[in-house]
Amino acid sequence: MTSAQLRRAREALETFAVETPSWGFADTGTRFGKFFQAAAAIDLGDKLADAGHVHALTGCCPTVAVHVLWDFKAGEDPKAVAKLARAHGVKIGAINPNLFQDQCYKWGSFGNGDAAVRAHALQHCIDSIAIGKAVGSEYVSLWFADGTNYPGQDSIRDRKRRFEEALRACHAKLGPKQTMLVEYKPFEPAFYATDIADWGMALLLAKKAGPRAKVLVDTGHHYNAQNIEQIVAWLLDENMLGGFHFNDRRYADDDLTLGSIDPYQVFRIFHEIHFFAADRGKMPSIAYMIDQCHNEKPKIEATIQTVLMAQELYAKAALVDHAALRRAQAANNVVDAELILKRAFFTDVTPALTAWRKARKLAADPLAEHRRSGYAKQAAADRTRRRKELGLVQGGSFA
């Protein structure tokens, strides 16, 4: 790296933060079964402790996303949860309402034909917004399992209208510091017509909901050949990109570690963001969040791996020579334009990462440091003992 590159990469790292998901530290599974880990978090205290540990090692994960029904007990004081987070050195980040696990959602939440169910879902979102205000969180993140499984099952247009109405009502309750993120997913659990199936639908709904609604891009929620960075560029240009859920996709919804399948694609996404910021003279505010549940990799290791990959690719993307790229583009010099991206991608940014970590008194290799710390071994022992005391059995199958 040249000294100018080193400076650019370090500058980029200064403002880059990644939010960890509380659910990523707990036992989760596939539709068919769960594979348990002794070190998995049992309760919110464990999840926040794990998130705090990841932040202490990486210096890059100050906030934790929470899922309301998984993390908050009924009647719990949100301020107490915020305090617990602070005690672990982190803050509560995006609030995720849960609009899919209650029995009443069999036919959907906001898309449900029954006005009483829609009202129930809306009230849960309003309660979640209030939790967000109480804990000082900036984001309310909405993902819907809604949709239909068979042609003719419901009116596609009626469902769209119901979503428009409920999202508008939801938006009306936001505080001045809150942003509402609308996530899309092509299929699963609905297999015929997911109500918010792609970025265009999310964009339209967010625009209709109000000025503080933006689109959330979950990198896993795209078909294989889909060009995610193009979607990102369009959303940026429309000032409608609110945030990301990081993972990697092999099919269309995977919880794989970011960059494990296609690191160049993640780089290209970051490039679009840096390129946009260079043109506008200002970095847009984007919530970078992880959405991964690991069943094979140890959860904390996979989380650290994701954070390090995100930092590395973000720093590489900051090295793209925008002026040279513009010149190559203006001259229709396709070869040079492509090479400008490739050159940045293949630059080893380790010196910038090492310097950034050193300045923060962090270990040069946070993953190795985690392994050295013995944290996972200790958590496995403590949590195995607590599970026994609480009479919890790690078991469960699909049917």
Contact set with ligand RM4 (CB under 6 A):
96, 143, 183, 185, 218, 245, 253, 291
Instruction: Provide the minimum distance between the beta carbon of 242 and ligand RM4 in the complex, in angstroms, as a whole number.
Output: 13
Q: Give the binding-site size for Mn ion (rule: CB under 5 A).
A: 4
Q: For residues 146 and 218, which CB has a smaller minimum distance to ligand RM4 in the complex?
A: 218
- Residue 262 contacts which entry, Mn ion, ligand RM4, none (Cβ below 5-8 A, type-dependent): none
- Residue 96 contacts which entry, ligand RM4, Mn ion, none (Cβ below 5-8 A, type-dependent): ligand RM4
Locate 269 and state its tokens.
Answer: 């996404």
Instruction: Provide the minimum distance between the beta carbon of 178 and ligand RM4 in the complex, in angstroms, as a whole number.
Output: 18
- Residue 19 contacts which entry, ligand RM4, Mn ion, none (Cβ below 5-8 A, type-dependent): none
Q: For residues 182 and 349, which CB has a smaller minimum distance to ligand RM4 in the complex?
A: 182
Residues 128 and 140: their CA atoms lie apart, in Å, by: 8
Locate 201 and state its tokens.
Answer: 């639908």
Query: Is the CA virtual torsion 214, 126, 111, 69 positive or negative?
Result: positive
Residue 220 vs residues 165, 168, 262, 290, 392: alpha-carbon distances, Å: 28, 27, 12, 11, 32
Burial of 158 (0-12, 13-18, 19+ CB in 10 A): exposed
Burial of 122 (0-12, 13-18, 19+ CB in 10 A): buried
Q: For residues 11 and 253, which CB has a smaller minimum distance to ligand RM4 in the complex?
A: 253
Per the CB < 8 A criterion, the answer to whether 81 and 128 are in contact is no
Query: Which residue type does 283 have?
Result: M
Instruction: Provide the minimum distance between the beta carbon of 249 and Mn ion in the complex, in angstroms, as a whole number.
Output: 9
Residue 245 engages Mn ion in binding (rule: CB under 5 A): yes
Q: Which of 218, 229, 248, 272 binds Mn ion (CB under 5 A)?
A: 218
Residues 122 and 325: their CA atoms lie apart, in Å, by: 47
Instruction: Provide the minimum distance between the beta carbon of 188 and ligand RM4 in the complex, in angstroms, as a whole number.
Output: 7
Q: For residues 189 and 374, which CB has a smaller minimum distance to ligand RM4 in the complex?
A: 189
Residue 67 engages Mn ion in binding (rule: CB under 5 A): no
Q: For residues 27 and 291, which CB has a smaller minimum distance to ligand RM4 in the complex?
A: 291
- Residue 276 contacts which entry, Mn ion, ligand RM4, none (Cβ below 5-8 A, type-dependent): none
Instruction: Provide the minimum distance between the beta carbon of 29 and ligand RM4 in the complex, in angstroms, as a whole number.
Output: 12
b vs e for 213-226, b when ≥16 Cβ sit within 10 Å of the residue's Cβ? bbbbbbbbbbeeee
Locate 364 and state its tokens.
Answer: 């040069």
The neighbour count for residue 20, using CB atoms within 10 Å, is 31
Q: For residues 139 and 375, which CB has a smaller minimum distance to Mn ion in the complex?
A: 139
Q: For residues 183 and 248, which CB has a smaller minimum distance to ligand RM4 in the complex?
A: 183
3-state secondary structure 118-139: HHHHHHHHHHHHHHHHHHCCCE
Instruction: Provide the minimum distance between the beta carbon of 183 and Mn ion in the complex, in angstroms, as a whole number.
Output: 6
Residue 291 engages Mn ion in binding (rule: CB under 5 A): yes
Residues 28 and 22: their CA atoms lie apart, in Å, by: 11
Instruction: Provide the minimum distance between the beta carbon of 359 and ligand RM4 in the complex, in angstroms, as a whole number.
Output: 33
Question: Which residues contact Mn ion by CB under 5 A?
Answer: 218, 245, 253, 291
